[in-house]
Amino acid sequence: MSAAARTAAIQLIARKSPVAVTLSTKPLPELFGANVFGLEQMRTALPESAWKALRSCMEHGQALDHALADQVANAMKEWAVERGATHFTHWFQPMTGSTAEKHDSFASIENGKLMMEFSGKALIKGEPDASSFPSGGLRATFEARGYTAWDPTSPAFLRETTNGSTLCIPTAFCSWTGEALDEKTPLLRSTEALNREAMRLLRLLGDDKVQFVYPTLGCEQEYFLIDRDLWFLRPDLIATGRTLFGAKPPKGQELEDHYFGSIAPRVLAFMQESELELWKLGVPVKTRHNEVAPSQYELAPIFERTTIAVDHNMLCMEVLKQVATKHGFHCLLHEKPYAGINGSGKHNNWSMATDTGENLLEPGKSPEQNMRFMVMLAAVMRAVDTHADLLRTTIAHAGNDHRLGANEAPPAILSIYLGEQLTDVVDALIAGTKGGSERKRDTMRLGVSVLPPLPRDATDRNRTSPFAFTGNKFEFRAVGSSQACGKPNTVLNTIVADALAWIATEIEKGKAQKGLEAAINEVVVELFKKHQRILFNGNGYSAEWHAEAAKRGLPNFRNAVDAIANFGTKKNVDLFERFAVLSSKEVDSRMSIMFEGYCKAIAIEGQSALSIARTMILPAAQRSQGVVAQSLAATKACGIDVKVQEKRLRDLSGRIESFVLAIEDLTAQFEHAEHHAGSVGEHAKTYRDKVVPAMAKLRELADGIETMVDDSEWPLPKYREILFLQ
C-alpha cells in the first residue's frame, strides 16, 4: 500500500457511475413481503385444522406437537423451495451484537435419490455448537451445546443471494440449562412483563376491552458510506469500523449543505436497491435522506411491534452492508467513523399499543383517554428517573463513548424532554395540589379535563435530549447506530413494567378510601412531583445543564466502563428477577460480556493503531523528512540560506521524535493492559485509563504530521477524499 494506491483509487472512483437495479415488474404492494412466510402465508398453506391448532399454540405460548410441527415445516419448505431455496437456517441474535446463522440443506438421500425434506423437529429446534459465542461464563466448553428454538411470533423469510436462496427461521438461543444466550429471549420476556403490568393497570382504570398490550418500535438508522476502493486502503476502518487517524479536512460539515441535500446518484441507486430488498423481506422502510455529516445518511422504517422491529433492524443493517458492496461502497455503521464530524445514532422510537389499535402514549381526546395518557406519562417518568443508571448501561459500549456527551449527540446524562406545553400541564398539576386557585385545580384535574392539543411538528423538537417525547412516542436517541436494539428495548419494557406495577399497587391501595379517580390523581401528581427532576427542555449540550443535572442528583456516567458497572447492582438484579426477564446469573454473564466487549474493541483499536503508526505513518514521515533534509543540504552546499526551511524541518523532525515516543508509550500501555490480572471490570478500566489516552495522543501527533508530509507519500486516504469522493 502506498500513496500510489490512493491515487489509483481516486482515478477509479472518478469513472464510477450508479449501478442499475434490476427492478421488479411487480407493483410495490405485491412486492412487499414477497420473501416472507408469515401468518398469512401459513394460513393459506395449512389445512384449516392445522392452522387453528398453530394459532392456539402461538397465542398461549404452547409447544407444537410433532404432527403439527411437521405440517408447518413442510408448508414452509414447499414455499421456500418453490422460490429457489436449497437451504434453511435458524437465524438468531447471540450476544455479539449481530446475527448468526448456520445453513443446512433440505437434502436427504433416500434409495440413492436426493429428496428435499424439512422436519418439524428441524424447524422447532436447532443445536448449534454454542461454545464459540459469548456466554459470559454461563457455559463452560465442556457443556458446549446450546439450542435455538423457533420464535413463531417472528415470520420466517427468504434471503436471496446471487446464487440461490436460504430460508431463515428467527429463533431464540439458549443454553441447555435454560439460560438465555441471546438478545431475543429477554426481549420476549420483557414484552410479556409489559403486557401483564399494563393490562393490570388498564383494568384498574376501568378498561375492559383491551386484551393485550405490546411495545412498538421504529428505529431510525444512521450510517456512513465510503467508496470501497478507499475503504480497502484504510486498515483502521477495516479492523475497527472507525478511522484511528486522519487530520481535519479543509471542509467538514460546517456549511451544513449535506443535511437533506440532493442525494448523489450512486448513493441513491444504492438506497433504492436496499429498499427493494428490505421491502421484499417485509421491512417497511419509509424515509431516506442525507444526514448532517458529509457521506452520512439515514433510513427510517414505519414502526412495528418491537420484537419484529428489532429483527427487522438487524436485517436492515445486514442488507445495507451487503447492498453497499454491490454498489462499490462500504457501509459504516460505527457510531463515530470520523473524528470532528457528526457520529451516527439509532433513534429508538418507543411506545405501547393495544390489540384494539390504540397508542397508549397518544394524548387523549376524551377525559378518560387523557387520564390514561397522564398515567402512562407518569410511568415513563418514574421508569427513567428510577432506572436511569440501567438505561444508560444499554447504550454503553466503546463506539458510543465517542458520541455520548460529545458536543453533537445526546449527553450521557439521561433526562426527558416533554416540550413546553406538556411540561406546563405537569407543572399545573403539581401546582394544583400546592393550593393554586380553585379554578386551576379544577381544570387540571385528571379525568375531568382534556389536554390542550400538543404540537407534533418538527419545530417543537429538541435535538439535544437523549429521551424525548415526540407527540405520541418517546424517542430514545442515545442508542448507537451499530447496536442491536434488543437490549435497550428489553430494559425500556422492563422499567416501564416496573413503574406500571407500582402505580397499580398504589391506586389499589388508595381506591378504597378515596375512590378511583382521586386515587389516580394523587398517584400521578405524586409521581410528577417526585420525578420532575428528570424533565429538561433546554440545551442538553450546555455546561450549565451538566452543573444543573449534578445539582438535581441525576447520574452522569461519562463512559461505557462506568456505566456498565451498574448493570449488576442489587437494585437492577432484583428488577430483572421480579419480572422474570433475566436471572441473576444471566445478569452477571451479560455484564461480563459488556466489559469483555469493551476490552476487545479497545484492544483491536490499540493493535491497529500501532501497526498503522509503525508501518505506514512513520515510514512515510521519515521518507519525507529524508527528502527535505537532502534537498536542504544540497541547497545549502550552493551557498543559499535555508534557515526558514530548516526551522520547518526541525518542526517535522520534532514531531516524528514525539511520534516514536508515543508509539513506545502505547506499546507499553497496551502490553500492561493485555497482561493485567483482575476482574473483567478492572481490565476494562485499564484499557480506558491507559490505552485510550495513549491512542489519543498518538493520533494527535499523527494528524499533525499528516498536515506536513508530502501528499504523494501519504499512504492513508485522507478525510477530504473519504468524505467527499463518491
The residues binding ligand ADP (CB under 6 A) are: 216-218, 220, 287, 300-303, 347, 349-351, 359, 472-473, 475
Q: Site for Mg ion (CB under 5 A): how many residues?
A: 2
**Residue written as grid cell 387523557:** 370
Binding at 222: pick from Mg ion, ligand ADP, none (beta carbon under 5-8 Å per type) = none
Residues 6+ apart with CB under 8 A from 480: 335, 344, 345, 346, 395, 397, 399, 400, 403
Minimum distance, C-beta of residue 376 to ligand ADP, in the bound complex (Å): 12
Question: Measured from the CB atom, is 483 or 566 closer to Mg ion?
Answer: 483
Query: 175 touches which of Mg ion, ligand ADP, none (CB within 5 to 8 A by kind)?
Result: none
| 216: partner contacted, choices Mg ion, ligand ADP, none (Cβ within 5-8 A by kind) | ligand ADP
**DSSP 3-state helix, strand, coil percentages of the chain (rounded to 5)?**
50, 15, 35
| CB closer to ligand ADP, 302 vs 550 | 302
131 or 472: whose CB is closer to ligand ADP? Answer: 472
Compute the half-sphere exposure of residue 327: CA atoms within 13 Å on the CB side of its CA.
29
Quick one: 135 or 274, whose CB is closer to ligand ADP?
274
Residue 67: closest CA among 84, 86, 46: 46
Q: Minimal distance in Å, beta carbon 291 to Mg ion?
A: 11
- Rg (alpha carbons) of the chain, rounded to whole number: 28
Would you say 112 or 453 has its CB closer to ligand ADP? 453
> By rule CB under 5 A, what string of x and - marks binding of each residue 311-350 to Mg ion?
------------------------------------x---
Strands in 400-453 per DSSP E = 416-417
- Minimum distance, C-beta of residue 425 to Mg ion, in the bound complex (Å): 23
472 interacts with, out of ligand ADP, Mg ion, none, CB within 5 to 8 A per kind = ligand ADP
Point out the residue whose Cβ comes nearest to ligand ADP. 218
Contact partner, 214, from ligand ADP, Mg ion, none, Cβ < 5-8 Å per class: none
Contact partner, 238, from ligand ADP, Mg ion, none, Cβ < 5-8 Å per class: none
Least distance between Mg ion and beta carbon 347 (Å): 4
Of 301, 325, 297, the residue nearest 313 (C-alpha): 301
Q: CB-side exposure of 15: number of CA atoms within 13 Å? A: 5
Asked whether the beta carbons of 185 and 172 are under 8 A apart, the reply is yes
Please check whether residue 282 is in contact with residue 32, taking contact to mean a CB–CB distance below 8 angstroms.
Answer: yes
Of 286 and 650, which has the nearer Cβ to ligand ADP? 286
Specify whether the backbone of 97 is left (phi greater than 0), alpha (psi in -120 to 50) or beta: left
**Shortest Å distance, C-beta 240 to ligand ADP:** 28
Phi, psi of 536 (to 5 degrees): -155, 120
**How far is the C-alpha of 536 from the C-alpha of 222, rounded, in Å?**
25
- CB closer to ligand ADP out of 82 and 457: 457
State which amino acid sits at residue 696: A
- The residue (of 354 and 521) whose beta carbon lies closer to ligand ADP is 354
Show the binding pattern over residues 347-366: x = contacts Mg ion (CB under 5 A), - = does not.
x-------------------
Name the closest residue to Mg ion (Cβ).
347
Q: Minimum Å distance from CB 477 to ligand ADP?
A: 8
- The C-alpha cell that represents 559 in the structure block: 463512559
C-alpha cell at 173: 438461543
Which is closer to ligand ADP, CB of 312 or CB of 546? 312
Nearer to Mg ion, 106 or 303 (CB): 303
SS3 per-residue string spanning 292-347? CCCCEEEEEECCEEHHHHHHHHHHHHHHHHHHHHHCCEEEECCCCCCCCCCCCECC
C-alpha cell at 366: 376524551
Smallest distance from Mg ion to CB 471, Å = 11
Q: How far is the CB of 241 from ligand ADP (least distance, A)?
A: 23
Q: Element (H or E) spanning 467, and its range?
A: strand 467-469
Amino acid identity, position 296: Q
Distance CA 585, CA 587 (A): 5
Between residues 292 and 507, which has the closer beta carbon with respect to Mg ion?
Answer: 292
Which of Mg ion, ligand ADP, none lies near 173, with the C-beta cut-off 5 to 8 A by kind? none
The contact pattern for Mg ion, residues 185-224, with x = CB under 5 A and - = no contact, is -----------------------------------x----
Q: What is the nearest approach in angstroms of ligand ADP to the Cβ of residue 454?
A: 14
Q: Where are the beta strands (DSSP E) in 176-273?
A: 213-219, 221-227
- Across the beta sheet with 467-469, the strand order is 304-305, 213-219, 348-354, 474-476, 467-469, 416-417
Work out what residue 473 binds among ligand ADP, Mg ion, none; the CB cut-off runs from 5 to 8 Å by kind.
ligand ADP
**In angstroms, what is the minimal distance from the CB of 544 to ligand ADP?**
25
CB of 103 to ligand ADP, least distance (A): 32
Residues that bind Mg ion (CB under 5 A): 220, 347
